[in-house]
Structure 1
């Protein structure tokens, strides 16, 4: 809203049109009554949540690996909070919204809360707000008791469809399963990061901010050798589109593959690309690799993260207890009363 007081032009940003009309009429009335504003008068800028979000996304893009996640979360948050004054948003209103989203899992709600908190934290740093209401919202308890991983039969079905539908992307699938590399990490790998003679990929930037070395299986080496046949002059990246350009995400082909896979096996309906990382780590544990080594191979900062993957299949546990029975028989033990 633009108006003049004592020959000086003033501008105020008002959220709703009705509020702007009311304030404009008041300013005109004050001017007719010759009511002067104090010399120290400063117009208080109205800051909407959308204003905070715009600034915060600039920060997120520059400093956060999870920027794409913030953008995705914001797409749900803006329609609800976008046109509300930032100062009027409370932890109760945030909590009420999260409670209303009964269609979402606790982990997703926690990510919404995290994005809200980041937005308000940036608003405080920029001097637009003084409090961060999202920090007072309680985190949901996430159910991590079951980690989904692929069986070898499920892997074979998905691989068969990839071979039939998009053969060029078989190495992408293999690398995901044979290294456990995160999606964002995999699609940022450049050929200067790959050392086939040492069976290693060196990642300088990972999700947790530290560098790590990925050790390659024989299958992973073979997959990268296939990728090397498709090197492109357009980009130094390893994983490419069919046009030889850098691939930011496998969604363009993976969604089509999974649609066909689910049609053949409804049990695959919960499979996402991140399941391949779960599969890699679970298979390491099921093959008897010690937990500390699995932690290093997975790139986990804490051992507690690795322990979440130690939920093994019933078949594997049966084999373990069968070994106990075999040992008893070998030692001449007798279980009869």
Structure 2
């Protein structure tokens, strides 16, 4: 569409006095003191401010040249080739980016996609969904943290009169922030945004002392589970105590992934990547018999016809019943306590931490070191070994790298050489 000018006409521009200027439809003409004229443009194109000095009349630049420049940048913007600034991005809000992010993760073989989807849909999008990916600020994240920490936890528990649910824990909010951070980093990798905006600071978690079961408590829990009417709770607890596998890993075991000959279970979708999980001999013996009792044709170790995926995904109610029947505190002992128990007893048995890391499937040794909270008796036994070591070697001559008690006394008695 041709522009219509009333101010920047040829006659009026020629009549302009030196030092004066005139702007119309994004084009500015300035008459210099030496009589020459300068054209520049200042327009908004797709939310971007384009300001350019087009040139002088003495160089052959005219108003038409400025009009052609504006037409070009607007055409380039429509075609997605505007290079002002470079690598211009299409604005994406968290709401529109989330499904694209999850779909790409699925194509790449990403992990915990269902959990990420749940955190996005139930927590992040309701609060931050309208923000563009490139506009996230530290202030937005801090407001989100404050809101989530003030909200009660999601629970199916029926409350008694006057009872209220506790608020979300820092660990819960940190997992949500980790999902947001991963999405933003992937957005940079995929070229959706140029950089991660703002800074996502996680909340400080109070790790405290890890709760685990003594061998006697573990046996009591197994006996209670064996007597429970839910036939899946006993194998679930036994696998948890004998391997340290996570709840989701246990419930999603497929028959084809159990290898009794090598005493192992293949875990294809673990948090730290796929791994081969070793199992104990008594667990292998139990599984050999348990597999024969499963319905023909089911691929799952914990099948469920009612579940969408074909296998059990929630065994909390049966676990609480077994925990109470064993005389344990149902608030302290949760399903993840089985994992804590297995790993803790591996450490207390003297298994080196790299081996424990391989068995537990942790990402780093630092995560395994949290379990090195040996009991008082175990620490006392370790100190007794140190004491015994000194007693045995204290008065014995050793190699040239060590000095015996007798030699140290002789050195103290000899005068220094001059």
**TM-score normalised per structure 2:** 0.59
Structure 1 residues 115 and 280, CA gap change in structure 2 (3 angstroms): same
Pairing 1:83–2:130 present: yes
Superposed displacement of residue 287, structure 1:
2.2
The aligned counterpart of 2:99 is 54
3-state SS, counterpart of residue 109 of structure 1: helix
The aligned counterpart of 2:376 is 314
Superposed displacement of residue 177, structure 1:
1.0
Superposed displacement of residue 123, structure 1:
3.6
Using the alignment, how far apart are the partners of 1:161 and 1:60 within structure 2?
41
Root-mean-square deviation over aligned CA pairs: 3.7
The aligned counterpart of 2:289 is 226
The aligned counterpart of 1:238 is 301
Superposed displacement of residue 64, structure 1:
2.4
- Unaligned runs of 5+ residues in structure 1 are 7-36, 332-337
Pairing 1:169–2:233 present: yes
Highest relative contact order (Cα 8 Å, sep 6+), 1 or 2? 1
3-state SS, counterpart of residue 133 of structure 1: coil
Q: Where does 1:103-114 land on structure 2 (aligned, <5 Å)? A: 103-114=167-178
Structure 1 residues 46 and 206, CA gap change in structure 2 (3 angstroms): closer
Greater shift in the superposed pair: 180-189 or 110-119: 180-189
The aligned counterpart of 1:138 is 201
Q: 248, 254, 263: which is aligned to 2:316?
A: 254
Structure 1 residues 210 and 266, CA gap change in structure 2 (3 angstroms): closer
**TM-score normalised per structure 1:** 0.71
The aligned counterpart of 1:26 is none
Superposed displacement of residue 217, structure 1:
1.5
Superposed displacement of residue 309, structure 1:
1.0
The aligned counterpart of 1:196 is 260
Superposed displacement of residue 186, structure 1:
2.6
The aligned counterpart of 2:356 is 294
Using the alignment, how far apart are the partners of 2:247 and 2:260 within structure 1?
20
Superposed displacement of residue 46, structure 1:
5.7
Using the alignment, how far apart are the partners of 2:325 and 2:259 within structure 1?
39
Q: 215, 218, 239: which is aligned to 1:155?
A: 218
Q: May I ask how many residue pairs the two structures share in their alignment?
A: 292
3-state SS, counterpart of residue 98 of structure 2: helix
Using the alignment, how far apart are the partners of 1:84 and 1:292 within structure 2?
43
Q: Which has the larger Rg?
A: 2
3-state SS, counterpart of residue 201 of structure 1: strand
Instruction: Kindly indicate whether the alpha-carbon contact (under 8 Å) linking 1:175 and 1:223 is maintained by their aligned counterparts in 2.
Output: no
Superposed displacement of residue 111, structure 1:
1.6
Instruction: Kindly indicate whether the alpha-carbon contact (under 8 Å) linking 1:177 and 1:277 is maintained by their aligned counterparts in 2.
Output: yes
Structure 1 residues 129 and 222, CA gap change in structure 2 (3 angstroms): same
- Structure richer in helix, relative to its length: 1
The aligned counterpart of 2:110 is 64
Q: 89, 92, 101: which is aligned to 2:148?
A: 101
Superposed displacement of residue 89, structure 1:
2.8
Greater shift in the superposed pair: 102-111 or 221-230: 102-111
Using the alignment, how far apart are the partners of 2:326 and 2:244 within structure 1?
26
* 1:110-152 residue CA offsets vs partner (Å, 9 max, x unmatched): 2222111222234445554444236x22233434352222234
Using the alignment, how far apart are the partners of 2:319 and 2:300 within structure 1?
23
Instruction: Kindly indicate whether the alpha-carbon contact (under 8 Å) linking 1:158 and 1:258 is maintained by their aligned counterparts in 2.
Output: no
